[in-house]
Chains A and B, each alone.
Chain A
Amino acid sequence: MLASKSLGTDFHQSEKQTLFRFLALYILLTVIIISVFSFIYFELQKDLMLQEKKSTLQKYSKELIENLKQLHINFDKTQIYPRSTEFESAIFDNEKKLIFSTTQTKLRLDKILYLENGIIHLVNIPESYYLGARYIIVKIKDDKEWLKQTKKEIIVFSSLTFLFMLVIGYLLLRLFLKPMRDAITLLDEFIKDTTHELNTPVSNIVANIEMIDKSLLDEKLLKKIQRIDIGAKTVSNIYQDLTYLTLGNEMISNNEDIDIEQLVLERIEYFTSLSLAKKIKITCNVKEKTILYADKFKISKLLDNLLSNAIKYNVVEGEIIVNVDDREFSVKDSGLGIAKNDISKIQERYKRFNKSSGGFGIGLSIVSRIAKEYNLSIDISSKEGVGTKVRVSW
């Protein structure tokens, strides 16, 4: 979202999801790569430390072997195991059975030099098995200085790499988004230009039709005029939608208390000629009067889109029921309905699931944007072949 904002592009939900997925995958991959390199570096540092300590351990081991040799020779006189303050030790026979150990910890003989539980171990095999000792282990405590240093280095290196990769990721994102941004800008520019050119002729047609005295017209001409009226209103509607869509963000809201019942009746009246063309019956049920504090033009746009869709996607001789209740209204049609899987995507811009009727697929996108602006809740329920109900509540 931050990226899309900073790039000045209003992305769709699915596009945002793609961006987030890309970012998540990129970050995950970066973290994995850094972790792998950190692990390899850690292991190398550990090996380096072990090699440095090896000579000390070998010296202790040699000292222990010498003492074991003396004890082996004098075992009939003394049985005191040779100990040292500098290291711990243990001896095993060739079947890896413990002969003696200065500590109680469990020891491994499968490695020559290893670090376990903060103790460095060296396994040595003497030339002669004094006291039967085939394996001699000497161990010293790890001072962990190398660990502190390595941790510090890994944190610094990982942080710098992560930041570097983030910058690279951001640049990549910009690169990937460019064609998408260009396409959306181009479409918006096209709509803006088209609507601007449509404005004057459409206004002229609508104004002139309204000025015609219909009582003077014969039936045949009246029908023709009504058809022109429907056509002009449809074009006017599309023009308003497109204007809202392209200039929506720049429009200043003029909020006021709107009597929803009155607005609904006004808009039904406006769509009467359209609905009559398809012989659709529009019923309005007002259960309770309700008021909404919002911009009248925008709510009117919202309602127009719902009514327009209900007419557009309805069957001939169908029915539309508009209900007004406390803090809600709904538009229900007896149309084609929307598939269950498509309901969640219906509010996306330019998304159309039925191409049999005209339109740009922007109607519900506008509804969704207006609803979002005024915190209105949109609930769409639909059944294919039965109809769709859109409920708006606040």
Chain B
Amino acid sequence: MLRRRARKKWNPSQKLKAYAFVSPAAILFLAFIAIPFLGIFVVSFLQWDLLSSPHWAGLANYKALVHDPLLGRVLLNSLIFDVLTTSLHIIIGMGLALAVNSVRSRIVRYWVRTAFVAPFLMSAGAVAVMWSYVLSDSTGPLSYYLRQIGISPPNWLGSSFWALPSLVGIDVWQTVGITFIIFLVGLQTIPSQLYEAARIDGAGVWKRFRYVTFPMLSPSTLVASVTAFIGAFEIFTWPLVVTSGGPGNATTTIMLYIYEVSFRNFELGYGAALSLVNLLVLVAFVSVMLWLARRWVHYERT
């Protein structure tokens, strides 16, 4: 009796305790995610260079969006980069996972996993610096070896056609490992009875892939493509460090453009308006992906 009363006195109610547990996360979320995202709307109505106090700009920033000759270009750059990157992620990631899964030698599997996943753990800034040397036209070993085997390479980072695909290459090099792992784990979840059944039915390699592996992997494919798509749309480090958005504006992505407008020209209001465009375009694309996925992603009902 006595003990229970003492405990009641010392223990705050369950509700209060729950709020205490949630509050660090809730406060941090409010401060560093919710307020900044809502802040996009607020700042987009201002004219502000951070040095002087902000002025109300009404819809001026939104009007400027319509007349911005670069906006279409940078969105297109981001989209091209994104579609190329995401497709390569799925193709290479899935192909590699299938290949590694069919190899018996432990050493080979270990080596391939190391080589393809270790870059994922390197710092993006360092990766960018490294590739700017590797792809350099004059001192880069890649162009040298291509010439040695009789291929005349383009000026990777200096050509307005090849610069963006080069950045795609860097991105895939660093991040394809995570997609590879997602597929590797996905393959573990496919029941082997399905393959036995398919084999009894006389299905060959292709048919087993087409009618068993591919549909059974579709949840992994969805996760991998949405993750890759969101990451690639906001790509920033490669264009900033490797090409500075050039040549011309060939590699200026939406995120780099927002950065330059906001933090180099200090037009924060217009930067925020661009951020809103960025947000809406991304949400629209991801919604379409998720909507399409409802038709073809196969979830095993157990």
Co-complex (A, B):
no
Residues of B bordering A, CB below 8 Å: none
